[in-house]
Amino acid sequence: MDTALLEYELPPELIAQRPAVRRDASRLLVYRRRSGEIEHRAFSELPDVLAGELVVVNDTRVVPARFRLQRASGGAVEVLLLEPVGSDGLWEGLARANGRLRSGERLGPVELVEPLEDGRWLLRLEGEPEGEAPLPPYIREPLDEPERYQTVHAREPGSAAAPTAGLHFTPELYARLDPVSVTLNVGLDTFRPVTAARLEDHELHGERYSVEGAAWERIAEARRVLAVGTTTVRVLETIARTGELAGRTTLLIAPGFEFKRVDALLTNFHLPRSTLLALVMAFAGVERTRELYQVAVAERYRFYSFGDAMLVL
């Protein structure tokens, strides 16, 4: 796939800088693939739109993984923890500074152990992560309530970013839908932009996932399954192919992909040149997705992490 198809025009003012006052007050664009019908709803109406689908959510919890640190020379360094590596406080992470970073350098609670590929480092962290919520760079305003970058069903700590489609659920809406939980720890693969000219040349490092046996039984037996978010899709489609309820997934979902266990998709509006947008195109069709994004822009939907949602049935 030519990655130029992952580009689209977005007015900057449509990038949501803060969450909706109430989680389920976000807007919901509903697209019915069979009829081609488009509806504009409130997210709180989601149960009324569904037709008995089993709802599956990602219950990962975001780690306070962003550290703003200082070198001995006084220079600033920003560190983002991605995932723990074994024991002894080792993490894989990203580190950024104006000057060259060196192995063995100590930055407060963080020690740089050795450089890896793509700007990643093997790090050693003293104690537990106690940094800031790792908000994406396109959100320029500080978050008054850090819990708004967590889903209400967040349980398993381990992510460097939130599974944002789940941010729209309130406890009441969650209870009404009675979802099943899976876990994928959101890491570098989810938010790293595609720089290759062809999507097939984009390399995935893999992200950890797990599903309880009883949960997978419900998912496997369901007549129809609604995946909340692209991370949930990757878990379900990985297990549908491998049968392994835990491990790492490097599954890249692109147009032409055959979905085996996902029948409906709930997702936010994603960045250009992202594997997340490619996944949506695989599910809804390339041109149809581009048309839906044009509709969303024309209707002034809010985009990205704190933005509105789209339901593809």
Mean pLDDT on 81-109:
91
Buried b (16+ CB within 10 A) or exposed e, 14-43: bbbeebbeebbebbbbbbeeeeeeeeeeeb
111, 123 contact by CB (below 8 A): yes
- Predicted confidence at residue 88, as pLDDT, reads 86
Q: How many CB atoms lie within 10 A of CB 254?
A: 17
Sheet with 38-42: strands ordered across: 38-42, 27-31, 309-312, 264-268, 225-228, 54-58, 180-184, 207-210, 246-249
pLDDT tops 90 at residue 87: no
**Contact by Cβ (8 Å): 61, 155:** yes
Q: Which amino acid is at 23?
A: R
Mean pLDDT, to the nearest integer, of 86-108? 92
**How many Å apart are CA 228 and CA 233, to the nearest integer?**
8
pLDDT in the model for residue 198:
93
pLDDT in tens, 23-48: 999 999 999 999 999 999 999 999 99
In this prediction, residue 126 carries a pLDDT of 95
Give yes or no for a contact between 155 and 181, defined as CB atoms under 8 angstroms apart.
yes
Domains and CATH numbers, the chain: 3-62+135-312 (3.40.1780.10), 66-125 (no CATH)
Q: How do residues 193-242 score in pLDDT, each as one tens digit?
A: 898 999 999 988 899 999 999 999 999 999 999 999 999 999 999 999 99
At 45-86, the pLDDT tens digits run 999 999 999 999 999 999 999 999 999 889 999 999 998 888
pLDDT of residue 117: 84
